[in-house]
Amino acid sequence: MKNKKKDFLRTIVENDLKSGKYKEIVTRFPPEPNGFPHIGHAKSISINFGIARDYNGHCNLRMDDTNPTKEDTKYVEALEDAVRWLGFDWGENLYFTSDYFSQIYDYAVQLIKMGKAYVDSLSEDKIREYRGTVTQPGKRSKYANRSVEENLDLFERMKKGEFKDGEHVLRAKIDMGAANMKMRDPLLYRIRHAHHFRAGDAWSIYPMYDFAHCLSDYIEGVTHSICTLEFENNRDIYDWVLDTLALKPPRPYQYEFARLNINYTVMSKRKLLELVEGGYVNGWDDPRLPTIAGYRRRGYTPESILNFCEQIGIAKANSVVDVAQLEFSIRDDLNTKVPRVMCVMDPLKVTIVNYEGSEEIEAPYYPHDVPKEGSRKIPFSKELYIERADFEENPPKGYFRLTPKQPVRLRHGYIITCKEIIKDANGNIVEIKAQYYPDSKSGTKDTSGIKVKSAIQWVSAAEAKKVEIRLYDRLFKTEAPEGIEDLNPNSLQIIKNALIEPAVILEKPDERFQFERQGYFYTDPVDYSDAHPVFNKIVGLKDSWAKKEKPKQQTTQPKVKQVQIDGEITPMTEKQKKVFEKYTDTLKLNNEVANTLARDAFLCDFFEEALSTCNAPVTLSNIVVNEVARVLKNTDAEALKFSPVHIAQLAKMIEEDIISSKIAKQVFEDMSKSGENPTQIVEAKGLVQISDPAQILPVIDEVIANNPDNVAKYKAGNNKLFGFFVGQVLKKTGGKANPKIVNELVKQKLI
């Protein structure tokens, strides 16, 4: 595999360290507190804090509070909260540009004394007119001829508040014919008679961004001032100010990267403010907004956003990223984390005529390819509810769910067959009378002889909990939205009477869930209560928009077979369909993994060869589809440094509990770079999984002893803290402890 290419910013940083230009790397994240931070800020946060972390430096969080008419403490708090939530810490390095107002003013006075700045009294329109055009040089104001003494007097009186807004400005005296129009005597200060949320009414003048920013960087000892490409032309002002003042080195330098642009999304704070203040969305944390607060309330994880930022990389040229890539990141993150449960959003009653009494069905929260433990008991009774779309009286071709002639399996339960359809006076189906097969229960030997092609979700009528579901979709209906005229009228759908299995509400195994065949959902952190549970849709199981936007096939194209995958009908060739059926029916792979392997000839052959060496289809397929496929995105198949035999050895160690799935990822990364045998890597680095309780128990005892408050909360009923204790034990053992054994031992210790 080719080595991962280092981004250009880190190359600059490394060269500066090697040359001795700086002793310590200092970056900064300098937002203006005039709105809530969005996903573009998340990219900037990850770059600035990430570079500081990678090179043992530090990153300052600095609020660029130079415009008192738009800024507010609530925005400062939102920015701090976003940085913390993403997992970064500025320590003691929280600053405000207003901290430096006196120093910046003194620097302005110094420029006036040098004859490099003057007070201009032209109107705003005249200043704009005199600036010239791209093809014509500008015209300098007659006020540029004022003496140093007059400029100093006027500037001092501006500071004291003797003039009205717009009556005077302070400008740098540079070059009115400069090719870079930013250098045509740019403004340094303007008059603003407005209350500042931190400085109060102490100032009547405020520095412009271009003047304050470079000086704030210098005062704080910033080395690398990293900003987006729209500030590229501003770099000349940045350098002019610092060079003209001849400030003592070391000094900072500005570097630009491409800002984040996402389709179906607006990133302008002005437009976001318009949406919020116009009532088009429900506040800055509306789950449809691209704000970090919005993503957080919707249910996105910090890891998914940071992984997204890492995947899109750091470029020098602007481009537009497909929002589907962000949606993939959250799916990929949640797939191995969240429990699977059943929720019925559009209930249709089913009465099982030959069933009496009730029972509880034990069902796992996680599929077999997710290395997590946990299960719940699902009540089963005579009266159930299924999804209305899971029954068709006159089914289309390729429909594999319940019909008058086609049986179906109730997920984790029994096979049922439709016996009678009950309709109301208007002909609407209101109930299905069904028959169940007692000898068809999941997890037992099925002797019913009934063959089914699909399993559907359901809930018991008596025990199901009523929940509100908020189905969020993209806020805009066009790829490149301009404003409110492009809003998607269907961006939010609220379902008031959905039904969910009781363990989700009563046992609360997590805050995020996969509602099977529906998508990923999150307990709304604001509106949720046990009396009125509310769930936000994070993302669907698939990119439904990609399906909507596919061009219609020409009628002359040959027809292909279709196969049912997670409730969606996806075209497949006959050969692919056979492979898919083999992997799902015989090898018991889940639909998504089988689908990927069936469609990719190289991955399929790679998997088959590995399988011939190690009979662990689920573990092997998971590695091939997730890890091997990821490497192939960045390198050619011929350049792979590992073989199917290596992957088989890795899978075997997982199956035999020699290493954990988490350690296996680390081993895979090493193997993909070096080509070394995975067994040798494990032995050389001492990565063998700890499964001996005698080695794990002392660590558990230490964690429990160090967290008495959390122990008390857990024993008082806060079951969510169980994951905290397990996580601490795994962390202290470097991820080597066997998670299954840790779960059991922690459970015993906390009784």
Catalytic residues, by residue number, are 32, 259, 269
Residue 559, judged by CB atoms within 10 A of its CB (0-12, 13-18, 19+), counts as: exposed
Strand residues in 688-734 grouped as ranges (E): none
- Is there a binding annotation on residue 529? no
Place of tokens 């299960």: 375
- Is there a binding annotation on residue 749? no
CA distance 588 to 597: 13
Identify the three-state secondary structure at position 519: strand
Q: Find residue 341's DSSP bridge partners.
A: 515
User: CB-based contacts of 200: which residues, under 8 Å, 6+ apart?
Assistant: none
- Is there a binding annotation on residue 32? yes
Place of tokens 């397929």: 621
- Is there a binding annotation on residue 454? no
- Is there a binding annotation on residue 259? yes
- Is there a binding annotation on residue 268? yes
- Is there a binding annotation on residue 102? no
- Is there a binding annotation on residue 242? no
Phi and psi based region of residue 165 (left: phi greater than 0; alpha: psi -120 to 50; beta: remaining): beta
Phi and psi based region of residue 43 (left: phi greater than 0; alpha: psi -120 to 50; beta: remaining): alpha
- Is there a binding annotation on residue 172? no
- Is there a binding annotation on residue 125? no
- Is there a binding annotation on residue 434? no
Output the CA–CA distances (angstroms, integers) from residue 120 to 116, 156, 166, 397, 544, in the order listed. 13, 14, 10, 77, 57
Query: Which helix (H) or strand (E) element contains residue 128?
Result: helix 124-130
- Is there a binding annotation on residue 64? yes
CA distance 455 to 412: 9
Output the CA–CA distances (angstroms, integers) from residue 545 to 214, 345, 539, in the order listed. 44, 21, 12
- Is there a binding annotation on residue 739? no
CA distance 637 to 647: 15
- Is there a binding annotation on residue 590? no
- Is there a binding annotation on residue 386? no
- Is there a binding annotation on residue 260? yes
- Is there a binding annotation on residue 72? no
Residue 257, judged by CB atoms within 10 A of its CB (0-12, 13-18, 19+), counts as: buried
Looking from the CA of 320 toward its CB, the CA atoms found within 13 Å total 12
- Is there a binding annotation on residue 41? yes
Task: Could you list the residues known to form a binding site for ATP, using ranges.
Answer: 32-34, 38-44, 228, 259-260, 267-269
Task: Could you list the residues known to form a binding site for L-glutamine, using ranges.
Answer: 64, 209
Task: Could you list the residues known to form a binding site, using ranges.
Answer: 32-34, 38-44, 64, 209, 228, 259-260, 267-269
